[in-house]
Amino acid sequence: MTGKKSITIFGATGSVGGSTLSLIREHPDSFTPHALTAHRDYQGLAKLALEFKPAHAVIADEAFYTPLSEALAGTGIRVAAGAQALIDIAAQKVDLIVAAIVGVAGLAPVWKAVEAGQTIALANKEALVSAGHLIMPAARKSGANLLPIDSEHNAIFQCLRHESHEHIERIILTASGGPFREMTLAEMQQVTIEQALQHPNWSMGPKITIDSATMMNKGLELIEAAWLFDEGAKKLDAIIHPQSTLHGLVGFKDGSWLAHLGIADMRVPISYALGWPERLAWQAQPLDFSSALTLDFAPVDETKFPCFQLAKQVMAGVPEQAIILNAANEVAVAKFLNGDIGFCDIAGHVRATLEAGDYGIIADSFEAILALDREIRQR
């Protein structure tokens, strides 16, 4: 890589943010952090800011402006707070923006970064699920580059790097199946928050870990893939692959398949985006081919994982349904993590919200998407 890349990380205190910063820590001569952001974890953000010395540290919740300012007093790091401050930072030109806020809360900065024509390493799948129909045309207009760092999408992105769109026959994302893959439906009724937070292969933030356990995550990923790769629902699918070694496959019209393999470590796709269009060397644990490598595949059991089924239905529908699905799921996951509803109630909550029908808002603008999202949450 030539020269230092300036980089802004939205969600620096989270799991993806942490993996990104661990790679930057390994390459102090290749990256200059421009801005780091968090929601409420001002102490975590202050610690990272003192280590990485970005020009800006932004906390989304304004209640934490004062303690963050005090923690960074005399450092020269500019502190800001609030939703508008996040949007302002997204407009400031850098070489790479890492969008790693969880949930639709990350949509506003992603939208602004797209409008500003930035190169965006996108982890925040909820932004594309809710607003892909506006984000993708806006990116084409502004020249913004979207580099997916969700591991499956990054895998497909790599497989398609030198391929023509018209040759694609199928795109398949793999899914570990989460911690409850082998449980019966009756057993799943009894699972605890602690069990649902134990992902067998990946270490991630709480929301995506629960989404992986319900397999809503894979459904959201299918919708994300439809927007990223401009493909209709018919060409997209997911299969269970418990080892999480193979992340994505593309089938072509001539019968060939390309697949991407790698260890289950988010630093693999993140390093790809950090290095893009080149490759960034790091201390990645190699895949071990010296002993037998098992790759199992199975179809997804949609009866056991109704969230996956709901997301697939929504993928074939209108954009408003994806916004409703996403908002209802965010609310239901928060309720589950709070102990208010059971694990299997998450799907019921999402289904009931979708079936409640027309919310009277056409999601034809960024503001309308946020209005519909708010409406669902209020109900």
**Alpha carbons 356 and 352: distance in angstroms, whole number:** 6
16 binds ligand NDP (CB under 6 A): yes
Count of residues engaged in binding ligand NDP, rule: CB under 6 A: 28
φ/ψ (deg, to 5) at 38: -145, 175
Q: How far is the CB of 334 from ligand NDP (least distance, A)?
A: 11
Q: Is 60 in the site for ligand NDP (CB under 6 A)?
A: yes
- Nearer of residues 13 and 321 to ligand NDP, judged by Cβ: 13
Cα–Cα dist 358/142, whole Å: 32
CB atoms within 10 A of CB 61: 15
Give yes or no for residue 120 binding ligand NDP (CB under 6 A). Answer: no
CA distance 338 to 278: 43
**According to the binding rule CB under 6 A, does residue 218 interact with ligand NDP?**
no
224 binds ligand NDP (CB under 6 A): no
Position 172, amino acid: I
Residue 76 phi, psi (nearest 5)? 85, -5
Task: Name which of 114 and 166 has its Cβ closer to ligand NDP.
Answer: 114
Of 11 and 178, which CB lies nearer to ligand NDP in the complex structure?
11
* Torsion angle in degrees (nearest 10) through CA of 213, 218, 221, 222: -160
Of 71, 121, 204, 370, which one interacts with ligand NDP (CB under 6 A)? 204
x/- site string to ligand NDP, residues 327 to 366, per CB under 6 A?
----------------------------------------
Structure tokens of 307? 């969230």
Task: Please tell me whether residue 244 binds ligand NDP under the rule CB under 6 A.
Answer: no
To ligand NDP, the closest distance from the beta carbon of 40 in angstroms equals 5
CA 101 to each of CA 29, 109, 182, 194, 342: distance values in angstroms, whole numbers, following the listed order: 26, 9, 31, 23, 26
Assess 101 for contact with ligand NDP (CB under 6 A).
yes
Query: Which listed residue (65, 202, 252, 359) binds ligand NDP by CB under 6 A?
Result: 202
Nearest approach, Cβ of 72 to ligand NDP (angstroms)? 15
Nearby residues of 125 by Cβ (< 8 Å), 6 or more positions away:
150, 220, 221, 224
Q: How far is CA 6 from CA 39, 67, 87, 274, in A?
A: 22, 27, 17, 10
Residues found near ligand NDP in the complex (CB under 6 A): 11-17, 38-41, 44, 60, 100-102, 105, 123-126, 150, 202, 204-205, 207-208, 266
